[in-house]
Chain A
Amino acid sequence: MLTIALPTGRVMKEAIELLREAGLPSKKLSNPGRELVIEEDRIRYILAKPMDVPLYVDRGVADLALVGSDVMWESGARLVELLDTGMGRCSLQVAGPPELGERFRCHRSELMWLRVASKYPRIADDHFSRRGVQVEIVHLNGSIELAPMLGMTDCILDIVQTGTTLKANGLVTLEKVASVSLRLVASRKSASLRWDGIKPVLENMKGLVGEVVA
């Protein structure tokens, strides 16, 4: 039996639709009720919080998963990334009040000791340290936009879909960090030992999303 972990929340509906179009059973999955583990025709689905999905795969509980590239990066889990489904597209951005724009346009030394609020402390640290900039990262779990508005931090690093929330809170994009989309991933063990089961799922999804993959 192939086990697939799926993120609950924003992208779950799209993920289920993708599975259905790829020919995977999705009848029970469409109406899961309170169930978190669903079995349909030799496929077991695990419904987990998006941030936990990489861990289920990394620990070998799930063979495959659909997971946002932001979450995958943040988790640091060593997964095999098979396919960019192109779904759930958004981007990771540094955003802040417009007057901060000047500092981002100048030499990067101007950014030293910037205070950055983020749900993604690992990505924030990675992004700024790669540029040789030391920043103070404030780890928040929600309503990140509040932090600069209330003077707690200078800016934020967060996912941005339409930019409406940023605009509503008087923030502008200062820097784009990375594009984000839903990825099909496998555990290292399953990619090596269960390729026969994984390959048809990958091939079907590849046909749907059209990316050149294995």
Chain B
Amino acid sequence: MTSSRSMRRLPAGCRSTGGRMAIAMERCRHRFISLFNRHGYRLFWSSGLQLLETSWDLLPRTIRESLLVLTSPMGEPCCLRSDITLAAVNYLANHYSPQERPLRMCYADRLYRNPAPGGDLEKFQIGAELLGWEGEGADVEILSLLLEGLDSLGLNDGKLVLSDVTLVDSAMDKLDEGLKSDLLKALQEGSYRTYFKLLSGCRSTGNKLLEALPELKGGPEVLDEARKLTGAESLRSLDNISDILGRMGRSDRITFDLGSIRELDYYSGPVFDVYSPESGKSLGGGGRYDGLLCSYGLSGQAIGFGLDLEELAKHSIYRNPEPIVAIKGGGSQPDLVLSRCSAFHDAGLTTEITWSDDGDSGMARAKAKGYSWWYDPKNDTVTDISREGGKIASLEVWFRNREEKGSC
């Protein structure tokens, strides 16, 4: 016999999400996906299993080490999906002709990675990819839509921190491979101490950009500082993004950290992290990955991002969903009750019907569930059950009051 304890338990690092959090995540997912759909991004559901051979060489060592590897029932070496970008590019390469590009995709799906102790084994990621566009505009399109998406979730203070891996590459161009790899590792790990220690041990670099890189942080003036240390060419993409987003009135939402590089090795141009004011962790990020397209035999640019849906939901306007109105169904005709529900739905509210004839127990159950309002279709009244002796009002008056106050 199964004990109740073993029924409750989930594998370490896994989570089931229900209640308010699930509602918030679904609302965020819906808003985000709808926004990107309107801009021609097609929804993409990738396979949960990926062949090891299709991703092994394209993923950095840190992610390869964290893959959840298994053998499919057909005996093929696979891993659980650890990255959706690879799957999206693979899909494009196999299903679309060059004439159909650029291709826009968006998704919301789970990712699986073996976590550090106490970390999450599975995460819900939401993202978008723009693949195969060779002209200017793609970077700005994705970034401005991302900001619009954050705004629509109430994350109006969310910031994009931009950098460009080509700038880092050009700064390290003349270094020997060993030192370059150690410096990149130090930047990825955020160890400025190691970075400067390595530089000080290498007497002959004389490379001002390399020395300044981790300190080049702040507004657009940082690009001017970097321009003095390097050619304008390696800053062309960031200049372009800064200018256009500035003209769109988005300057306050972007900032630069030119020593910031992302973990995935396939990025090959501007990269970015997304931060909300309420969390110390990045909500996610992305960047340009033209090189990844090349590895699939495709030419052109590609840019995309992925965000942690649960973190987004926690900081979004949906973290406290609107109150649910409990409807007394017992004692009234079901068709009448259901039509009354529609009136609440039209006003953007959620309802739940209690079919019991016993109004008092129904009301008590609704109260216990944390609902704020009790509607009785028989006498067309709404009762505030969130407090003792709460007010009773006719439905018409209640709706009018709600409109005047702007909420319940």
Contacts and interface: CB of A to CB of B under 8 A. Distances in A.
A191 B275 CA distance: 12
Interface string B253-264: 001010010000
Contact of B215 (A78, A80, A212, A214): A214
Contact of B218 (A58, A59, A195, A212): A195
Nearest to A187: B280
Contacts of B181: none
A212 B281 contact: no
B295 interface: no
A213 B273 CA distance: 24
Interface in A139-196: 183, 187-193, 195-196
Interface stretch (B96-104, B185-193, B365-373): B185-193
Interface stretch (A9-17, A81-89, A106-114): A81-89
Contacts of A189: 275, 279-282
B192 A192 contact: no
B214 A81 contact: no
A192 B273 contact: yes
Given A122-B117, A193-B159, A212-B200, A188 B282 contact: yes
A190 B159 CA distance: 12
B351 to A, nearest CB: 37
Contact of A212 (B117, B159, B191, B197): B197
Nearest to B192: A214
Contacts of B282: 188-189
Number of chain A interface residues as a range:
20 to 34
Contacts of A59: 279-281
A192 B193 contact: no
Nearest to A78: B190
Contacts of B199: 212
B190 A60 contact: no
A208 interface: no
B117 A58 contact: no
A201 interface: no
B196 interface: yes
A79 interface: yes
Contact of A192 (B117, B275, B278): B275
Contacts of B215: 195, 199, 214
Contacts of B257: 191-192, 195
A133 B260 CA distance: 35
B161 interface: yes
Contacts of B281: 58-60, 188-189
B192 A58 contact: no
How large, as a class, is the contact surface on chain B? 20 to 34
A188 B193 contact: no
Most A CB atoms within 10 A — which of B161, B189, B193, B197?
B193
Given A187-B280, A189-B275, A189-B279, A81 B194 contact: yes
Contact of B190 (A79, A83, A195): A79
B280 A188 contact: yes
B161 A192 contact: yes
B190 A214 contact: no
B338 to A, nearest CB: 46
B217 interface: yes
A211 interface: yes
Nearest to A190: B280
B192 A80 contact: yes
A207 interface: no
A23 interface: no
Contacts of B194: 81
Given A59-B280, A60-B281, 16 more contacts: A58-B280, A58-B281, A59-B281, A60-B280, A76-B117, A78-B189, A80-B191, A80-B192, A81-B194, A187-B280, A189-B279, A192-B260, A192-B273, A193-B161, A195-B217, A214-B192
Sort A-B residue pairs by CB-CB distance and give the 8 closest, nearest first.
A60-B280, A80-B190, A195-B217, A192-B257, A187-B280, A192-B161, A81-B191, A76-B116
Interface of A: 57-61, 76, 78-84, 122, 183, 187-193, 195-196, 199, 211-214
Interface of B: 116-117, 159, 161, 189-197, 199-200, 214-215, 217-218, 255, 257, 260, 273, 275, 278-282
17 contacts: A79-B190, A80-B190, A80-B191, A81-B193, A82-B193, A188-B190, A189-B275, A189-B279, A191-B257, A192-B255, A192-B257, A193-B275, A195-B217, A211-B193, A212-B200, A213-B192, A214-B195
